[in-house]
């Protein structure tokens, strides 16, 4: 058959489809004794076929639309599980024919991006760490001159700001800044506790050792925060909750050490409180689902409760009595105030 004849036959098939041809007419068929050629593979045929399938779906004839689409995909040798327009229409037709639109499918969601609060947290963490590195070098080199000592912390802070800018160019995902801040705070507190214990409660007398321990803790904590933030994608509230747990765990440890009059081993009490507070916060964060605002209310409540407990302890117990009773009231005030503040933040 000539080229003109083939195009004429193709136009005849397209006209039949547009006029409501049945699905089986999409396949090569025999009219009398003459076999019609395969439909032409041009844009006109594709548009006519898609219009026919769409019209069948719109009129509620999903079975006919499915048969037409299956036949054409079979002729092309294409997989019905692909993502061509016809394959997608086939899956819609199958779902309509089955009486549902795949209820088990969950639409994909874009990963959450950090908030403005987390951006501040991210920059604050890296700048503080950079400045700490500069101070550590100052301590090791015993730089005390006003003309030289401030430069290294300033350069470290600037390097931290550039690092945060590089991390946040995309911007960073939600939870990363809070996780970094939580790791930095918890690690620094652990390092401070170790430094205090190793220097017999007098870290200011051995500044190089104490600063090295604190920087080592901050480095390990910051690294863990980055790793957990990138792998587990914690919520911003979880990071803030761990910061609060670490800080108030340390405070409770210090108060307990004072109550037991263990001045030479006050560092081990602080270290234990930090570890227990951070661990408890990490374990319970998933169940409690705290928000950053709730953590701030917790901090405010614990501070107010601790001050109130300290005042009550001084009023109820004489100064000559052992400090255990006054410190116990202070601890109860901190715990009660923190719980009350957290619950108030849920409103």
Whether residues 129 and 80 share a domain: the answer is no
Whether residues 64 and 136 share a domain: the answer is no
Residues 6+ away with beta carbon under 8 Å from 69: 53, 80, 86, 87, 89, 90, 93
Whether residues 69 and 178 share a domain: the answer is no
Q: What is the pLDDT of residues 129-138, one digit of tens each?
A: 888 888 888 7
Is-contact 149 182, C-beta < 8 A?
no
Whether residues 176 and 260 share a domain: the answer is yes
Determine whether 79 is exposed, middle or buried from the number of CB atoms within 10 Å of its CB (0-12, 13-18, 19+). Answer: exposed
- Assigned domain for 86 exists: yes
Q: Looking at 103-112, 122-131, 286-295, 302-311, which range is the least confident one?
A: 103-112
Q: What is the pLDDT of residues 152-184, one digit of tens each?
A: 888 888 988 888 888 777 656 677 778 888 888
- State the Cα–Cα distance between residues 186 and 212, nearest whole angstrom: 16
Please give the residue that has the higher pLDDT: either 345 or 118. Answer: 345
Token pair for residue 151?
A: 């430069």
Token pair for residue 209?
A: 């050792």
**pLDDT band, very low/low/confident/very high, at 276 (cuts 50, 70, 90):** very high
**Where is the domain boundary, 43, 70, 98?**
98
pTM for the predicted model, two decimal places: 0.61
Q: CA dihedral in degrees (220, 221, 222, 228; nearest 10)?
A: 110
Q: Which domain holds residue 89?
A: 3-98
- Assigned domain for 303 exists: no
Whether residues 134 and 17 share a domain: the answer is no
- Assigned domain for 107 exists: no
- Assigned domain for 308 exists: no
Is-contact 115 174, C-beta < 8 A?
yes
Whether residues 80 and 134 share a domain: the answer is no
**pLDDT band, very low/low/confident/very high, at 28 (cuts 50, 70, 90):** very low
For Cα atoms 23, 29, 35, give the angle at the middle one, nearest 5 degrees. Answer: 160
Per-residue pLDDT for 26 more than 50?
Answer: no
Whether residues 122 and 160 share a domain: the answer is yes
Per-residue pLDDT for 141 more than 70?
Answer: yes
Whether residues 84 and 146 share a domain: the answer is no
Which position has the token pair 């980055």?
Answer: 226
Give me the number of domains the chain comprises.
Answer: 2
- Assigned domain for 300 exists: no
Length of the chain: 347
Per-residue pLDDT for 37 more than 80?
Answer: no
Residue 301, helix vs strand vs coil: helix
Q: What is the pLDDT of residues 218-264, one digit of tens each?
A: 889 888 888 888 777 788 788 888 889 898 999 888 888 888 876 67
- Assigned domain for 205 exists: yes
Element (H or E) spanning 34, and its range? strand 34-35
Q: What is the pLDDT of residues 67-105, one digit of tens each?
A: 888 888 888 788 888 888 888 888 888 888 777 555 555
Whether residues 139 and 90 share a domain: the answer is no
Whether residues 252 and 150 share a domain: the answer is yes
Is-contact 288 343, C-beta < 8 A?
no
Token pair for residue 206?
A: 């051995």
Q: Which residues of 39-68 are buried (b: 16+ CB within 10 A; e: fewer)?
A: bbeeeebbebbeebbeebbeeebbebbbbb
Per-residue pLDDT for 110 more than 50?
Answer: no
Whether residues 286 and 185 share a domain: the answer is yes
- State the Cα–Cα distance between residues 195 and 190, nearest whole angstrom: 9
Per-residue pLDDT for 62 more than 70?
Answer: yes
Q: Looking at 33-37, 325-329, 338-342, which range is the least confident one?
A: 33-37
Average pLDDT of the chain to the nearest whole number: 76
- Assigned domain for 254 exists: yes
pLDDT (0 to 100) of residue 114: 64
Whether residues 139 and 89 share a domain: the answer is no
């Amino acid at each position: 058959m000539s080229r003109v004849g083939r195009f004429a036959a193709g136009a005849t098939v397209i006209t039949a489809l547009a006029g409501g041809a049945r699905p089986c007419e999409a396949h090569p068929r025999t009219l009398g004794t003459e076999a019609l050629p395969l439909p032409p593979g041009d844009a006109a045929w594709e548009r006519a076929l898609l219009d026919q399938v769409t019209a069948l779906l719109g009129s509620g004839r999903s079975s006919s639309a499915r048969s037409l689409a299956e036949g054409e995909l079979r002729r092309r040798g294409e997989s019905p599980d692909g993502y061509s327009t016809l394959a997608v229409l086939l899956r819609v037709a199958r779902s309509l024919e089955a009486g549902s639109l795949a209820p088990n499918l969950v639409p994909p969601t874009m990963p959450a991006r950090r908030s403005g609060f987390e951006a501040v947290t991210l920059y604050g963490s890296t700048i503080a760490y950079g400045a700490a590195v500069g101070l550590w070098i100052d301590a090791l080199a015993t730089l005390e001159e006003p003309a030289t000592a401030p430069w290294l912390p300033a350069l470290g802070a600037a390097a931290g700001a550039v690092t945060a800018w590089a991390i946040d160019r995309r911007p960073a995902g939600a939870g990363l800044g809070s996780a970094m801040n939580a790791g930095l705070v918890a690690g620094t507190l652990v390092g401070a506790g170790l430094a205090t214990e190793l220097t017999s409660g007098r870290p200011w007398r051995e500044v190089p050792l104490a600063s090295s321990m604190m920087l080592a803790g901050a480095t390990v904590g910051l690294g863990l925060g980055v790793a957990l933030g990138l792998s587990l994608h914690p919520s911003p509230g979880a990071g803030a909750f761990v910061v609060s747990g670490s800080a108030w765990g340390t405070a409770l440890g210090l108060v307990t050490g004072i109550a037991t009059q263990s001045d030479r081993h006050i560092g081990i009490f602080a270290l234990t409180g930090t570890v227990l507070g951070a661990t408890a916060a990490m374990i319970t964060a998933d169940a409690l689902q705290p928000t950053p605002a709730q953590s701030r209310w917790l901090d405010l409540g614990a501070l107010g409760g601790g001050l109130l407990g300290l005042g009550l302890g001084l009023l109820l117990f004489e100064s000559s009595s052992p400090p255990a009773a006054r410190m116990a009231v202070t601890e109860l005030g901190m715990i009660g105030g923190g719980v009350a503040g957290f619950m108030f933040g849920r409103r």
